[in-house]
Structure 1
Amino acid sequence: MKAARFHAARDIRVEDVPAPGAPGPTQVLVKNQFCGICGTDLHEYLGGPIFIPTAPHSYTGGQVPQILGHEYSGVVEAVGSQVTSVKPGDRVSIQPMVSPRDDYYGRRGQYQLSEQLAIIGLSHPWGGMAEYSLVEDYNAIPMPDDLSTEHAALIEPTAVTVYATHRGGVKPGDSVLVAGAGPIGQLQVMAARAAGATRIFLVDLNDNRLEMAHRLVEGLITLNPGSTDVLREVRARTAGGVGVDVAFECVGAEAPLGLCLEAVRRQGVVVQVGMQGKPPALDGFTLTYKDVDLRGSWCYSTLMWPQVAALIASGQLPAEKVVTRHIALDDVVEQGFEALLDKAGTQLKILIEL
């Protein structure tokens, strides 16, 4: 079968590889349909391996060369003898986290926190940028009839932002600032609105992405810190002039985190969503003086798929708005990875049609 595999930084190859064999007792064979290119995939392409192991992963055995793709959907081709949750022909969205069911976190249903966590498409033998994949039964989540297979490929990145919204404690009527207008930042805007936020600010240095963001939610306020005093605008447009209730850092950089800390009101909440490439300097005085709650947000609960699917299917969280291009697997490097790295920022979420 054809698959896009990571070999090293700037070295992703579309190759012919052996297809998966028959599924084991608890496994599901999936014919992949749509797969998104994630920011994590871009980081691997630019400077990897980062999450991709160079030696066999302790739980899954995955390693370089790695089939990429953890945001994907497909149709069940075959199931193992003990699988009862799906059957051949079912449309599924892949929840990509793989971990023990019986370790400290697994016994508590917090599978994403396991110290042996692996991720399909990053530290697992299979991934979504291929014709087929072999996953565990708990990875293949059946989709409702009112959600397309294309939409199902958007559940994983959307779950990141819904979970971050939970971490931030966003309530109806809250004001929110989102730093970063990439795909996660724009999905974060929609997740905050779905949770009831009424005044939402989106901050980015790229005017193209800010312009694209105006179609997301009614009344969105977009601000470019290169040409606007963001803190002055935020204070002028929030109740009492004190700042936002919750701020989300969706870039993974030091400056946006500092901006979030300044932009929230006293006893506000800052949620770190983006993965910081290196330890940032943090203004501990402001954090303490403003009595701010700083929270990390690691991916999502793996149990969220039905909730997120319902949000997308109902239109309350129209994740499809971030999709800007569909491509073929053969074009994944030039029309996918390289296009997303273009500083013009004209592409957001690119889906590979398999």
Structure 2
Amino acid sequence: MKAVRFHGKRDIRVEEVDAPTRPLADDDVLVRPLVCGICGTDLHEYIGGPIVTPKTPHAYSGATLPQILGHEFSAEVMDVGRDVKHVAPGDRVSVQPLVSPRNDYFGRRGLFHLSPCQACIGLSWKWGGMGQQAVVKGYNAIPVPKKLTDAQAAMLEPSAVSLYALDRGRVTMGSTVLISGLGPIGALALLGARAAGASKIFVAEVNPNRLRKAAELVPECITIDPSKTNLLEAIRDQTEEGVGVDSAIECVGLEKSLNTCVDAVRPQGVVVQAGLHSSPATVDAMKWALKDITVEATWCFPTYSFPRVASMIESGVLPVEKVATAQIKMENVVRDGFEALLDPAGNHLKILVNVAD
């Protein structure tokens, strides 16, 4: 079968690999990936990896390089192990990619995303969504409503990341919110904040193309380029008595962005660190104390969140398909996918790969 495999820094190849063999383990599901998103984590691996892709066998999954990429994907079920009852051949699913023990400290508490043994399909598992077939565990295969398109189903994973950040930020009806950075997670957080009923949403982004995209996604949001406009003054001018926003969602993963979020929230506001930092950040902890704020850090998402996200997409309140700016063929994934997303002047936000074509 054909698959997109990561071998090392700037080395992604579309190549022929062996398909999964049968019979399946009792708790396994064999799927045919349909549409797969390129994630920021995939980009980090491409330009600087291997980072999370294992160079030696993964302690839990045994996976090692080269790695079939893809952890944001929709798929069709081809076969199931004898213990799998919730899906059957022909069903469409969205793959929740986290793989971890069910019976360790974290598994017994349902905190599967926090297990130190955790592996991830498409990053540290033998299979990934950018291959023509994949084997996942039964708990990874989440049925999706028939109304959802393959592309929408592929976007459940990044949407779950964004909604988890909003939940941790206590964003609710009437909230004032700052989204710092409009990559895919920021864009989905923008849609989610509107769906939650936020009354005023500020978007800080230096890329003019992405600022325009923010205005397309949520016309009533307030877009600000902090390199040209004083962001904090703009927020003070448009919040009650100039106190700042209730919640700030940091989606960049940079020290400056994090500290700006701290400055932007009102006293007893909430800052959520959703962007992943690649280096330590220096912060003013005394300012946190004087403002009496809450700083939340997020990792992935609760694994039970996919049905909730799917129902929001199905109802129309979370139009995630608007975040996707291109769908490409697997053969062109490096040129039209990875390189296009790395173009600092590019127009793309989220690129999806049509695996089934």
Q: Which residue matches 1:9?
A: 9
Q: Which amino acid in structure 2 is aligned with residue 233 of structure 1?
A: A
CA distance in 2, matches of 1:345, 1:313: 30
Q: Which residue matches 1:233?
A: 234
CA-CA distance at 1:285 after TM superposition: 2.0
Contact 1:70 1:128 in 2 (8 A): yes
Which whole-Å deviations, capped at 9, do the CAs of 1:21-52 have from their partners, x for residues lacking one?
Answer: 12211100001100000000000001011111
CA distance in 1, matches of 2:142, 2:257: 35
Which whole-Å deviations, capped at 9, do the CAs of 1:51-72 have from their partners, x for residues lacking one?
Answer: 1111111111111110000000
Name the SS for the 1:304 alignment partner.
helix
Map 1:43-62; keep pairs closer than 5 Å. Answer: 43-62=44-63
Q: Which amino acid in structure 2 is aligned with residue 121 of structure 1?
A: G
Q: Which residue matches 2:105?
A: 104
How many equivalent residue pairs?
A: 354
CA distance in 1, matches of 2:177, 2:338: 30
Q: Which residue matches 1:319?
A: 320
Q: Which amino acid in structure 1 is aligned with residue 4 of structure 2?
A: A
Q: Which amino acid in structure 2 is aligned with residue 16 of structure 1?
A: E
Contact 1:28 1:134 in 2 (8 A): yes
Q: Which amino acid in structure 2 is aligned with residue 144 of structure 1?
A: P
Q: CA RMSD in A?
A: 0.8
Map 1:249-264; keep pairs closer than 5 Å. Answer: 249-264=250-265
Contact 1:327 1:353 in 2 (8 A): yes
The answer to whether residue 195 in structure 2 is matched with residue 200 in structure 1 is: no
CA distance in 1, matches of 2:283, 2:317: 35
The answer to whether residue 68 in structure 2 is matched with residue 67 in structure 1 is: yes
CA distance in 2, matches of 1:211, 1:192: 18
CA-CA distance at 1:171 after TM superposition: 1.7
CA distance in 2, matches of 1:73, 1:304: 16
CA distance in 2, matches of 1:218, 1:10: 37
Contact 1:201 1:222 in 2 (8 A): yes
CA distance in 2, matches of 1:274, 1:316: 24
CA-CA distance at 1:195 after TM superposition: 1.5
Q: Which residue matches 1:82?
A: 83
Q: Which residue matches 2:212?
A: 211
Q: Which amino acid in structure 2 is aligned with residue 18 of structure 1?
A: D
CA distance in 2, matches of 1:39, 1:145: 28
TM-score normalized with structure 2 length: 0.98
Q: Which amino acid in structure 2 is aligned with residue 208 of structure 1?
A: N
Which whole-Å deviations, capped at 9, do the CAs of 1:79-133 have from their partners, x for residues lacking one?
Answer: 1111101000000000000000000010011100111000000000000011111
Identify unmatched segments of 5+ residues in structure 1. Answer: none
CA-CA distance at 1:345 after TM superposition: 3.1
Name the SS for the 2:134 alignment partner.
strand
CA-CA distance at 1:146 after TM superposition: 1.6
Contact 1:168 1:246 in 2 (8 A): yes
Name the SS for the 2:18 alignment partner.
coil
CA distance in 1, matches of 2:256, 2:108: 38
Contact 1:5 1:65 in 2 (8 A): yes
Name the SS for the 1:130 alignment partner.
coil
Q: Which residue matches 1:130?
A: 131
TM-score normalized with structure 1 length: 0.99
CA-CA distance at 1:284 after TM superposition: 1.3
Q: Which amino acid in structure 1 is aligned with residue 307 of structure 2?
A: P
CA distance in 2, matches of 1:62, 1:251: 29
Contact 1:209 1:345 in 2 (8 A): no
Name the SS for the 1:161 alignment partner.
helix
CA distance in 2, matches of 1:149, 1:171: 29
CA-CA distance at 1:165 after TM superposition: 0.8
Which whole-Å deviations, capped at 9, do the CAs of 1:258-306 have from their partners, x for residues lacking one?
Answer: 1100000001000000000001111112111111111101110000110
The answer to whether residue 140 in structure 2 is matched with residue 139 in structure 1 is: yes
Q: Which residue matches 2:19?
A: 19
Name the SS for the 1:61 alignment partner.
coil
The answer to whether residue 262 in structure 2 is matched with residue 243 in structure 1 is: no
Q: Which residue matches 1:157?
A: 158
Which whole-Å deviations, capped at 9, do the CAs of 1:312-342 have from their partners, x for residues lacking one?
Answer: 1111111111100010101000000000000
CA distance in 2, matches of 1:306, 1:328: 28
Name the SS for the 1:77 alignment partner.
strand
CA-CA distance at 1:164 after TM superposition: 0.7
CA distance in 1, matches of 2:157, 2:86: 19
